[in-house]
Amino acid sequence: MATSINWIEKEYYLKVLIDEGVSILLHKNKKEHILALVNQTKTELSFKLAQPIKGLKQSEHMNLVFEYKGVLISIPVNIISVKEDIITTNLPQSLYKNLGRAFIRISVPDDMEVTLQYIGELYKLNFPKLSETEWEKTKKVSPKEYKPEEINTLLQNSMNELKKISSGLQTVLFNQKAPETTEEQLIAATGRCLFLSSTKEPFPESDISNRVTIVTNPQFKRFLEISGVGALYIDESISKFIKGKQEGKVYSDCWMPVMLYEYVIGYIHIWTGDEPRFNEKTLDLVSEYASLLIASLIQKGSFAPGKLRNDPFQPEIQDISASGLSFSIPRSQLSQAIRENDNVAVKIKTADKVLDLTLRVMRRIKGSNSVRYGCRYLEMSPDDTRFLFENLYGKSFGSDGTKYLQGAT
């Protein structure tokens, strides 16, 4: 993966490009073009073309590449203007050392069409929804699938296990009632489990499970602050909260949210009045029941009216190579849904062939108005790699193919 260069090193390389006239390579429409950096201001770069290039447009993204002392470096820029043999671009925030062995990234050729489709589900539901900030902190879990003939038995068995270890069990869905109590509002706002192993001990400071994320003391404090509790009264409010549990004869307490992606569908509440206390195994049991419950609701069609069409889309392709691509889309429900390690289907269409491939999102960079994704192809066949290489670079994938590898010397 490319490594960002700090601003001091960036200025050094830009000065070298101007002073030493180092050749800069641009791949455009299956041809190699040579540029030279001739001027730099506080906000812009100016490049001189060795020969005219057809089809350059204002705002077009270019991924320029040069090699200096065995190091291959990329310059991601957007065109501001093209006047005869001079291209003016923005001054990029960073340059990148391409240390990996991925193929060089270029602009999409004019005769190539790229269409993407999210591999996942999108919903618009009338349930509490996590804020974008909280959703990004939450581990994304897709609903498990169970055989329809087994789900009721599994759900009942899981419920029986919880009843054995608790004094009471309550299941609440937020389509029946809006979050009202502190506990309900807390899990609806955070999507985290409220877990007190013992109400005779302080509020937990950290997670106790690798599988389930719980509300910790700092998060509870932040929730109270956002809710309007003054900073001087937050510790007192937490003490009163735990004391209320004790007065209610609650010894161990667990409020597990039932989640469908970013939506908090409801919760499962179990408690005890005495020892033995709840532990990490308890969290696993309640989490499994929540998983079964959401799967059962999906099978019953409870969320079908709120399921959105997952249509193909044509994003802004920042760059593409024979090993991956990067794209950006406006901030939206779709941009919130696509996370790192998610898969996205991609259709690459040329005049000769259509490639149906799968991308894995390797990095996600959130901007003020858009989100950019860096992706690599998964399980690409040698024939598809060869075809894409030749259609991107206009070269046969033969003995000189390695020179298109980032980091190749």
Query: Domains in the chain and their CATH numbers?
Result: 1-99 (2.30.110.10), 107-122+308-409 (2.40.10.220), 132-305 (3.30.450)
Structure confidence at residue 99 (pLDDT): 45
Rounded distance between C-alpha atoms, residue 277 and residue 83, angstroms = 75
Give me the sign of the Cα torsion angle 13, 82, 48, 106.
positive
Report d(CA 280, CA 298) in Å as an integer.
27
Supply the pLDDT for residue 24: 94
Q: DSSP H helical segments within 275-315, as ranges?
A: 280-299
Region of residue 118 (phi > 0: left; psi between -120 and 50: alpha; otherwise: beta): beta
pLDDT digit string, tens, across residues 25-41: 998 878 889 999 999 99
Distance CA 89, CA 82 (A): 9
pLDDT of residue 11: 95
pLDDT for res 103 = 77
Given this model, what pLDDT does residue 104 score? 79
Residue 98: the pLDDT is 58
- Residue (of 20, 78, 42) closest to 319 by Cα position: 78
Please list the ranges in the chain whose pLDDT falls under 50.
Answer: 99, 101, 399, 401-402, 407-409
CA Rg, the chain, in Å? 27
Give per-residue burial for 205-215: e unless 16+ CB within 10 Å, then b: eebebeebbbb
Separation CA 393–CA 28 (nearest Å): 8
Q: What is residue 404's predicted lDDT score, i.e. its pLDDT?
A: 52
